[in-house]
A and B are shown apart, each in its own frame.
Chain A
Amino acid sequence: NAGVTQTPKFQVLKTGQSMTLQCAQDMNHNSMYWYRQDPGMGLRLIYYSASEGTTDKGEVPNGYNVSRLNKREFSLRLESAAPSQTSVYFCASSSTGVYGYTFGSGTRLTVV
């Protein structure tokens, strides 16, 4: 099925552990994004990649790193997880310019 695939769907980490959230899209979109969603805060942009080989910080990049491995894949890494990073993470993609978005199904991350 065409779309955006995120893994894992659920994850529990201990404070200080690291992990990578994977995202892949098969729609040949140029732009990819990582958002986090927190109760009372709505969705906020962590990092984005306007095209293969480029990445830029969003509104809340601290504590995260990203890699645009190729046109299809955009990963988000937490080097040393903190309880403040407990959230639901969404990957999304879009074509260049003013086009619609497609979101992944989300990763629910809990840091204890």
Chain B
Amino acid sequence: KNEVEQSPQNLTAQEGEFITINCSYSVGISALHWLQQHPGGGIVSLFMLSSGKKKHGRLIATINIQEKHSSLHITASHPRDSAVYICAPGMAAGNKLTFGGGTRVLVKP
């Protein structure tokens, strides 16, 4: 069973395009994390959301707790945004994360 579904699995965009990654989850959560992982690299936490919307630079994350859905948007995409983006709902007890399979994003110049 997949408790966390991300779409698309792969995405190729031209520099400057608007990118959207979607995440649906079936478990009850206290917050949802969006993570970024560059090839061969470590994992960086981009956002932690429990409601509404957050913005950091060109990145925007939204969450609808009732619908169990979150989106990550990248505005004016750049080749350095090429990475795997992972949705990770978190449980209140122990703040343990469950992970989506990731979306591999490639931004071409």
Contacts and interface: CB of A to CB of B under 8 A. Distances in A.
Contact of B95 (A90, A97, A106): A97
Contact of B43 (A48, A98, A103): A103
A58 B96 contact: yes
Interface residues of A, number: 25
A100 B99 contact: no
B48 A99 contact: yes
Interface string B8-25: 000000000000000000
Interface string B52-82: 0000000000000000000000000000000
Contacts of B95: 31, 94, 96-99, 101
Interface of A: 31, 33, 35, 42-45, 48, 50, 56, 58, 90, 92, 94, 96-106
Q: How large is the interface on B (under 10, 10 to 19, 20 to 34, 35 or more residues)?
A: 20 to 34
Given A98-B48, A98-B50, A42 B100 contact: yes
B97 A101 contact: yes
Contacts of B44: 103
Given A31-B95, A98-B31, 7 more contacts: A43-B97, A44-B99, A45-B96, A50-B94, A58-B96, A104-B42, A106-B43
